[in-house]
Amino acid sequence: MTGYPPIVELADLGPLGPSIVGPNAGGESIGIQTLDDDPEMLAKLYNPRRLARPDIGALDRLVGLPEHLGADGVRLRSTTSWPRSRIVSGGRTIGVLIPAAPKAMAAEVQSPITGKGETRLIEVDLLAKPDEYIARRGLPAPGLLDRLTVCRQLAAVGAILSGNGVVYADWSYANTFWGPHDNTVFVIDVDSCSFGSRGHVQTVGFEDPLTPIGVRVDAATDQYRLALLIARCLTGMRERDEVIDELSSIDPWLHGARDVLVDILTSTDRGRRLPLRRLADVLDQASPDRSSTVDGANVTKWRPRGGPPAQRGHVTVGSSSVQAPSAVKTNQMARTPPTQARRSPLTTRSWNLPNAAAWTPPKKGFWRRLLDRWN
């Protein structure tokens, strides 16, 4: 079959190939199997012990949603494993038909232990690592603009979902693939999305401090988890406090994105977090050729410890250190060869230490991070 109806009989899919993942005893599926007649599609079969009665109404709404969204619907179908059909058998819903990640996204990556190469899909988790670590895995070290390209796509998907009342809640390292050679993304497991809110989805390392475990997750949870994922991919850092600290020295032309990210990550009122559409807009508008901050309306400017950004926002161009972001050309921010890989995509500047009057005790780990930058 080349086109699929919203509801499809399992028998009409033809022979199923082997599962691309092992049985997940604690998860929603017992396997994700290839279709012999259509290798670009997968049959995700539900685990009857965990999902005996799937939310058919929500699943049917998800299947039909892209048809009403124009360009946004095209994006959802090209950058996510958006469900194509609900699979039924014997009058019961037993799974969902989803697209496989594009094979072109696969890349050869070297094991950090053995050094042996393996061609596979790369999780976006790798972007939460410094450039030199990525280079050691045999991949081209991403420059800041490469990371920004990835973050823009993630924010766009999040904005489309939230704008249509869809809650994903499963933003994490493992649920998005990254194409290291063209910076494409592919978000998976979106067939479990719901509308308005859904039962708590626990994602290790992405728990929202304002959404305790056991509480239903909603749009505010998505705002926090996606903002954290984007901030990690943008900075190449993993720990939340280190990510926020790294954002404090971000290049001036990204201050708008920084302000929105920090607002979402540090807000004490989950109902007042800035929307993902705002984040998507400031990321789209950010450019090294723009000399000023592009920020959302009513965003209180956040300033790093040690003074305003203008005191620290130097960039290195050739052998000179200059303060004008408009002087940073795209080719100077582009993909970094492995031999020149930096510790972080944001450390393209010299350090200007704050004056004594503005000094505050450094956070734990500050001196280690400073020595790492110096080296």
On the question of pLDDT at 176 being above 90, the answer is: yes
Strands (E), the chain: 7-9, 16-19, 29-35, 38-46, 85-89, 92-99, 107-110, 117-120, 166-167, 176-179, 184-187, 194-195, 315-317, 320-322
Residue that the structure tokens 């929603």 belong to: 28
Measured in degrees and rounded to the nearest 5, phi and psi for residue 108 equal -80, 125
pLDDT tens, position by position, 57-90:
999 999 999 999 999 999 999 999 999 999 999 9
Residue linked to tokens 């161009």: 317
d(CA 204, CA 274): 23
Structure tokens at 133: 């670590």
Tell me which amino acid residue 20 is: I
Among 255-259, 361-365, 368-372, the minimum mean pLDDT is found in: 368-372
Which segment of 19-23, 215-219, 234-238, 275-279 scores lowest on mean pLDDT?
19-23
> Taking 60 as the threshold, does the pLDDT of residue 127 lie above it?
yes
- Provide the 3-class DSSP secondary structure of residue 363: coil
Question: Euclidean distance between the first and final Cα of the chain, in Å?
Answer: 57
Query: DSSP letters of 258-322?
Result: HHHHHHHHH-S-GGGPPPHHHHHHHHHH--TT--S----TTPPPP--TTS-GGGT--EEETTEEE
Q: How far apart are CA 309 and CA 368, in angstroms?
A: 22
Q: How many residues does the structure list for the chain? A: 375
Return d(Cα 81, Cα 279) in angstroms, integer.
Answer: 23
Cα 72 from Cα 77, distance rounded (Å): 9
pLDDT digits (tens, 9 = 90+) for 327-351: 333 333 344 443 344 444 454 333 3
* Distance (Å, whole) CA 145 – CA 272: 30
State the average pLDDT over residues 284-300. Answer: 62
Asked whether the beta carbons of 1 and 28 are under 8 A apart, the reply is no
Q: What does the pLDDT average to over 145-172?
A: 97
Confidence of residue 365 (pLDDT cuts 50, 70, 90): low
**pLDDT, tens only, 322-333:** 333 333 333 333
> What domains lie within the chain, and their CATH numbers?
7-69+81-100 (3.30.200), 105-364 (1.10.510.10)
Residue 175 CB neighbours (<10 A): 21
Q: Out of 11-20, 208-217, 236-245, 331-340, pick the least confident.
A: 331-340
